[in-house]
Structure formats: structure tokens, C-alpha cells
Amino acid sequence: MKAVEVENLEKDYGRVKALKGVSFHIKEGEIFGLIGPNGAGKSTTLKILATLLTPTGGRAEVFGHDVVNEAEKVRALISYLPEEAGAYKNLTGREYLEFMARLYAKDDRKAKEMFELGVKLSGLGERLNDKVSTYSKGMTRKLLLARALMVRPKLAILDEPASGLDIVNAYEIRKTIKRFARSEGVTFLVSSHNMLEVEFLCDRVAMIAEGRIVEMGTPKELKEKYDAENLEEVFMQAIGVRIPEPVGGEGS
């Protein structure tokens, strides 16, 4: 079964067309990357799949449920982490995870299970006893990712999960996502403008530019198709930008 199916998705903001017929699908258990520059339509696509925006045209389904007509069923299957998400700053990290576990769980046993998983996923150790207001951006992002995953969604939608983080925190976020996908079988949709990061994380990627999908495939397939060293080069060629030759030659 396809985890996500998007067909000819369109979204207009007045005269601005954010999406111009976007189509792709995500296999169950896959880490799928939607990559492109800022303003390309990534966040709009994710918000439609998270039932936060209504498309102007086209359709989208999550595990067979239409995101418009069956929004409640979709929400029960997903967890969404926006790029600019925040946590309650006056709570400690531990209190925040406990609060969110009680909010999502159906009973005390399930809440305890969720909370314990959140503690493990956060990797924050004793810092969970400190207020969120004292956390760095990297620590806050780890806490929020733990919150998004501890509910064990069928689909985790993550918008720029490592944006603005240093190398160590970004690496740990990627490692958590990859490990959780493999151990729990969760399907991931990850948006990013960092194509090198996505190359190491995702099973398949769709490249989006100006509201349209310009390429799709595994990182290996795309690099071979364009005879490119990385996905940045693939993207530049896919949108028709000539990559300049290196200055100098061999032996210079």
C-alpha cells in the first residue's frame, strides 16, 4: 500500500500559484525527501498533507484517506513537525513530554509508554529536568522531534527538521530519524533545502522548483542520470542551470 499519493496538487494564494500540479507517491516504510530552495512549495505541500491547508486543485491521500474529505482519519495517522515549531518554555523538557503524552494517549499505561519513548528519543538526559527556555535551538529541536515520534505515527511529516542546527545536532537528528524508520517501520516525509543532508538520509527524493516537481528517484539513480557528484548538481542541471567548469585544470 502507498503511504502517500499526491496527484496534480495545486495551491493558489490569490494570484500566486504556490503549487502547479505536483504529483508523487511515497511507499510505506520509506524515508522520502521533498527538496528544493526556499519558496519552492515544500512547506505548502506538507501543510496540505497535514490537513492544515486545503488544496486549490488535485488530490492527496494518506494511507488511502483523502486529506480533505477524511481529514480526521488522516490526523489520527500522522505527526507533523513544522519548521518553526516551539515548546512550552516555562515547562521542563520532562514536563513537556509528560504533558504531550497525556494529551495523545488513550490511557495512563499508553501515556507512560509514550513518555518513556520520548525521553529515550530526545537524548537529552539530565537536561530534561531543566526548563525549555534554557535550551539551545538544537536541544529544542531534539525535544520536538521526540514529541513527534513518541506517538508512533504511521507517517511522520517533518519540515526542515535540522534547519539552522550545527553539524553535531543535525547529525544526531538525522540519525534518530533513520534509526526510528528502520526499527518502527514509520514512513517519513522530510522537506529540506539542504540537498546534501537529504542525500544521506532519504531512500527517494522529489525535487521541487517554483511549484513543480522537476525530478524524482533515488539519490543514486539521479546522480547516475545526470553524471553528477551530488544532488545539488542534479538539481542545478534539472532546472537548466549550467554548472561552471572548475577554475584551472588537472595539475594546476
The separation between CA 154 and the C-alpha centre of its own chain, rounded to angstroms, equals: 13
pTM of the entire predicted model: 0.91
pLDDT at residue 106 in the model: 87
**Of 160, 164, 194, whose CA–CA distance to 177 is shortest?**
160
- Rounded to an integer, the average pLDDT of 238-252 is 62
The beta-strand segments (E) located in 99-167 are 155-159
**CA-CA distance, 156 to 145, in Å (whole number)?**
10
Q: Provide the mean pLDDT of the chain.
A: 92
**CA-CA distance, 117 to 150, in Å (whole number)?**
6
pLDDT at residue 100 in the model: 95
Contact 123, 182 (CB under 8 A): no
Residue 249 φ/ψ, nearest 5 degrees: -135, -165
**DSSP 8-state secondary structure symbol assigned to residue 133:** G
20, three cell numbers = 502547479
Contact 98, 104 (CB under 8 A): no
Question: pLDDT tens, 146-201?
Answer: 999 999 999 999 998 987 888 888 889 999 999 999 999 899 999 988 888 888 89
Residue 252 has pLDDT above 50, yes or no: no
**CA-CA distance, 10 to 55, in Å (whole number)?**
6
Cα–Cα distance list, 132 to 11, 91, 105, 116, 151 (Å) = 36, 6, 22, 18, 20
175, three cell numbers = 540519525
CA 26-53-50 angle, 5° bins = 40
Q: What class, spelled out in words, does domain 1-77+154-252 have in CATH?
A: alpha beta
- CB atoms inside a 10 Å sphere around CB 137: 12
**CA-CA distance, 177 to 236, in Å (whole number)?**
27
Q: Any idea where the domains of the chain sit in the sequence?
A: 1-77+154-252, 87-152
Crossing angle of helices 93-104 and 108-122, in 10° steps, is: 140
pLDDT at residue 242 in the model: 63
**CA-CA distance, 11 to 210, in Å (whole number)?**
12
**CA-CA distance, 112 to 109, in Å (whole number)?**
5
pLDDT at residue 194 in the model: 85
| Strand, coil or helix: 7 | strand
**CA-CA distance, 135 to 133, in Å (whole number)?**
6
81, three cell numbers = 513537525
The separation between CA 60 and the C-alpha centre of its own chain, rounded to angstroms, equals: 17
